[in-house]
Chain A
Amino acid sequence: DGGITQSPKYLFRKEGQNVTLSCEQNLNHDAMYWYRQDPGQGLRLIYYSQIVNDFQKGDIAEGYSVSREKKESFPLTVTSAQKNPTAFYLCASSISTGDEQYFGPGTRLTVT
């Protein structure tokens, strides 16, 4: 089955710890994206990658880091510098930047 997978579905961490969220796609898409959603809100872009070994900051990149070493994978690290990390994180991909985006099932991160 083609699609986008995110793991884990739920993640709990203590304040001060870094945590890495996984995003994998087998759609052969060049572009990948990370969005954050807070309760009752739309999505906001954290980072995006147009192609392997390239990535750009989105609107709310502070406290986050990414890598894009493989076309299929775009992991997101939430660092201890992120002031309000508790949120729902969604990964997306598209054939190339600007094309229709498809979303994974999301990871709910809770930091206490």
Chain B
Amino acid sequence: GIQVEQSPPDLILQEGANSTLRCNFSDSVNNLQWFHQNPWGQLINLFYIPSGTKQNGRLSATTVATERYSLLYISSSQTTDSGVYFCAVPNAGGTSYGKLTFGQGTILTVHP
């Protein structure tokens, strides 16, 4: 099945700093999702981005499907940005069509 790798595994920032999280995937995908898991475990949808660039406030994401990677940018980070960031891609066909395969996540800690 498809493999998803995220980097870095851990990231520690001072409030106000910018950061870039990376997601590599091993096969062609027709969409990709970025999530933020808050300290209570809730998965918050950040982006649904099969290709191109999207922006939402201080966050933006870019997916280059032909090169099999996606980047999540966080600018002017805040303590509330802390948590785990996951990317996930779906099976494109065959068994478990639509099933999301998750990366291992990036643990982000933002200090005041």
Contact = CB atoms under 8 A, between A and B. Distances in A.
Interface residues of B, number: 24
30 contacts: A31-B98, A33-B99, A33-B100, A41-B104, A42-B86, A42-B103, A42-B104, A42-B105, A43-B100, A43-B102, A44-B102, A45-B96, A48-B96, A48-B98, A48-B99, A56-B95, A58-B99, A59-B99, A90-B43, A92-B100, A96-B98, A98-B30, A98-B31, A98-B98, A100-B45, A101-B33, A103-B45, A105-B42, A106-B41, A108-B41
Interface of B: 4, 30-31, 33, 35, 40-43, 45, 48, 86, 88, 90, 95-100, 102-105
Interface of A: 31, 33, 35, 37, 40-45, 48, 50, 56, 58-59, 88, 90, 92, 94, 96-103, 105-106, 108
